[in-house]
A and B are shown apart, each in its own frame.
Chain A
Amino acid sequence: MLASGHLANYLLLLLKGLTITLELSLGSLVLGSLGGMVLGAMRSSGWRALRAIALVYIEAVRSIPFVILLFFVFFAVPLALDIDIPPYPAAIAALSVHCSAYMGEVVRSGIESIPKGQWEAAASLGLPYYRIMRHIVLPQALRVMIPPTIGVYVSTIKESSLASVIGFVELLGQGMAIREANSLRNTADVLVAVAFGYFVICFSLSQLGRYLEHRTTHDLQPAVEPSRGAIVRPLVAGRPETQAAAMRWGQTDVMRRASETRSCCTSQHALVCLRTAHNRLGRS
Chain B
Amino acid sequence: MGALYDFNLRVLLPYLPTLGWGAVKTLEISALAILISFPLGLIGALMRLSESRIARAIGAGYVEAVRNVPLLVVLYVLFYALPASGVRLDAFTAGVLGLAINSTAFTIEIIRAGFAAIPPGQYEAARSLGLHRLQMLRLVIVPQVFRIVLPTLGNQIVSVVLGSAVASIIGVSELTYQTQSIGSSTFRYFELFTITALFYIACVQAISLLWRLLTGRAAHAPLGT
Contacts and interface: CB of A to CB of B under 8 A. Distances in A.
A71 B180 contact: yes
B165 interface: yes
Contacts of B116: 259, 262, 267, 270-271, 273-274
A198 to B, nearest CB: 5
Contacts of B117: 259-260, 262, 267, 270
B175 to A, nearest CB: 9
A278 B117 CA distance: 14
26 contacts: A60-B201, A64-B162, A65-B163, A68-B176, A75-B189, A79-B5, A82-B3, A82-B5, A158-B70, A159-B70, A172-B72, A176-B76, A187-B80, A188-B77, A192-B77, A198-B73, A199-B65, A199-B69, A206-B68, A252-B120, A256-B119, A256-B120, A267-B113, A270-B116, A271-B49, A277-B124
A246 B95 CA distance: 50
Contacts of B85: 186, 188
Contact of A278 (B109, B121, B123, B162): B123
Contacts of A64: 162, 197, 200-201
Interface residues of B, number: 59
Interface string A266-280: 010011011001100
A20 interface: no
Contacts of A90: none
A166 B168 CA distance: 13
A109 to B, nearest CB: 14
Given A60-B201, A161-B72, A76 B190 contact: yes
Interface string A186-228: 1110011011001100110010000000000000000000000
A192 to B, nearest CB: 7
B193 A194 contact: no
Given A63-B204, A259-B118, A194 B73 contact: yes
Contact of A79 (B69, B120, B166, B189): B189
Interface of A: 59-60, 62-69, 71-72, 75-77, 79-82, 154, 158-159, 161-162, 164-165, 172, 176, 179, 186-188, 191-192, 194-195, 198-199, 202-203, 206, 252, 255-256, 259-260, 262, 267, 270-271, 273-274, 277-278, 281
A262 B113 contact: yes
Nearest to B165: A65
B156 interface: no
A277 B123 contact: yes
A5 B179 CA distance: 37
Nearest to A75: B189
A188 B82 CA distance: 8
A195 B158 CA distance: 25
A202 B67 CA distance: 9
A203 to B, nearest CB: 5
Interface of B: 1, 3, 5, 49, 64-65, 67-74, 76-77, 80-82, 84-85, 109, 112-113, 115-121, 123-124, 127, 158, 162-166, 168-169, 176, 179-180, 183, 187, 189-190, 192-194, 196-197, 200-201, 203-205
Given A67-B176, A274-B120, A278-B123, A203 B193 contact: no
A191 B73 CA distance: 7
Main secondary structure of the interface of B (DSSP, over half): helix
A165 B5 CA distance: 26
Q: Chain B CB within 10 Å — which of A62, A75, A82, A277 has the most?
A: A75
B121 A252 contact: yes
Given A255-B120, A273-B120, 13 more contacts: A59-B201, A63-B162, A79-B187, A79-B190, A159-B70, A162-B70, A172-B72, A191-B73, A191-B80, A195-B69, A259-B119, A262-B117, A281-B123
B190 A67 contact: no
Contacts of B70: 158-159, 161-162, 172, 198
A195 B5 contact: no
A280 to B, nearest CB: 9
Contact of A187 (B3, B72, B84): B84
Contacts of B81: 187-188, 191-192
Contacts of B189: 71, 75-76, 79
The 9 closest A-B pairs by CB, nearest first: A65-B165, A270-B116, A267-B113, A188-B81, A202-B68, A277-B120, A63-B204, A161-B70, A158-B70
B200 A158 contact: no
A198 B69 contact: yes
A79 B189 CA distance: 8
A72 B193 contact: yes
Q: Chain A CB within 10 Å — which of B68, B81, B168 has the most?
A: B68
